Amino acid sequence: MPTANPVPADRCDVLIVGGGPAGSSCARGLAGHGLDVRLLDRAEFPRDKICAGWVTPQVMQTLAIDPESYGRSRVCQPITGFRVGVIGRRIAEVECGATVSFGIRRCEFDDFLLRRCGARLRLGQRLESLERREKGWLVNGRLHTPILVGAGGHFCPVARHMATPLRPREIPVAAKEVEFLLDPEQAEHCPASGNRPELYFTEDLKGYGWIVRKGQWLNVGLGRQDPDNFPAALERFLDYLQAEGRLPPRTSRRLKGHAYLLYEWAPRPLYRDGALLVGDAAGLAYLRSGEGIRPAVESGLLAAEAIVASGGDAARAGRLYRSAMVERFGPRHPAPPRPLTDLLPLAWRPALAGAVLGHPRFARKVMIDRWFLQRHQPALEPVRAARLPDPDL
Ligand SMILES: Cc1cc2nc3c(=O)[nH]c(=O)nc-3n(C[C@H](O)[C@H](O)[C@H](O)COP(=O)(O)OP(=O)(O)OC[C@H]3O[C@@H](n4cnc5c(N)ncnc54)[C@H](O)[C@@H]3O)c2cc1C
Predicted confidence (pLDDT) per residue in 356-378, tens digit: 777 888 888 888 888 899 888 99
Q: For a substitution probing ligand 1, which of 60, 258, 260 has the most ligand atoms within 8 Å of its CB? A: 260
| pLDDT bracket for residue 386 (50, 70, 90) | very low
Partners of 175 in the beta sheet? 223, 258
Dist. CA 171–CA 335, nearest whole Å? 9
Burial-class residue 59 by CB neighbours within 10 Å (0-12, 13-18, 19+).
Answer: buried
Percentage of residues in the chain with pLDDT exceeding 70? 92
Position with higher pLDDT, 194 vs 392: 194
Q: What pLDDT is recorded for position 48?
A: 96
| Domain boundaries defined on the chain | 10-53+105-169+262-329, 173-260+341-372
Q: What element of type H or E holds 110?
A: helix 106-115
CB 207 less than 6 A from any atom of ligand 1? no
Q: What element of type H or E holds 24?
A: helix 21-30
Q: How far is the CA of 347 from the centre of ligand 1 (A)?
A: 37
Question: Above 70 in pLDDT, residue 8?
Answer: no
pTM: 0.94
Of 33-37, 110-114, 180-184, 346-350, the least confident:
346-350
Dist. CA 353–CA 86, nearest whole Å? 7
Q: Which CATH architecture has domain 10-53+105-169+262-329?
A: 3-Layer(bba) Sandwich (3.50)
Q: How far is the CA of 153 from the centre of ligand 1 (A)?
A: 5
CB 41 less than 6 A from any atom of ligand 1? yes
For residue 258, give the nearest of 299, 236, 230 by alpha carbon: 230
Between the CA of residue 51 and those of 30, 54, 319, what are the distances in Å? 26, 8, 31
Dist. CA 282–CA 270, nearest whole Å? 6
Q: How far is the CA of 92 from the centre of ligand 1 (A)?
A: 30
CB 221 less than 6 A from any atom of ligand 1? yes
Alpha helices in 311-359 (DSSP H): 314-329, 349-357
pLDDT tens-digit map of 301-356: 999 999 999 999 999 999 999 999 999 999 998 777 666 566 666 666 777 777 77
Question: Above 50 in pLDDT, residue 207?
Answer: yes
| Contact predicate 175/259, CB 8 Å | yes
**Average pLDDT score over residue span 239-244:** 96
Determine the Cα angle at 214 with ends 372 and 106, to 5°: 75
| pLDDT bracket for residue 5 (50, 70, 90) | low
Of 5-9, 260-264, 272-276, 348-352, the least confident:
5-9
Q: How far is the CA of 87 from the centre of ligand 1 (A)?
A: 27
Closest Cα to atom 3 of ligand 1: 51
Q: What pLDDT is recorded for position 224?
A: 95
Rounded-to-10 torsion of CA 163, 164, 170, 175: 20
CB 54 less than 6 A from any atom of ligand 1? yes
pLDDT tens-digit map of 137-154: 999 999 999 999 999 999
- Closest ligand 1 atom to residue 49 Cα is 29
Q: Which residues contact 31 (CB under 8 A, 6 or more apart)?
A: 37, 117, 118, 119, 385, 386, 388
Q: What pLDDT is recorded for position 298?
A: 97
Neighbours of 275 (CB within 10 A): 25
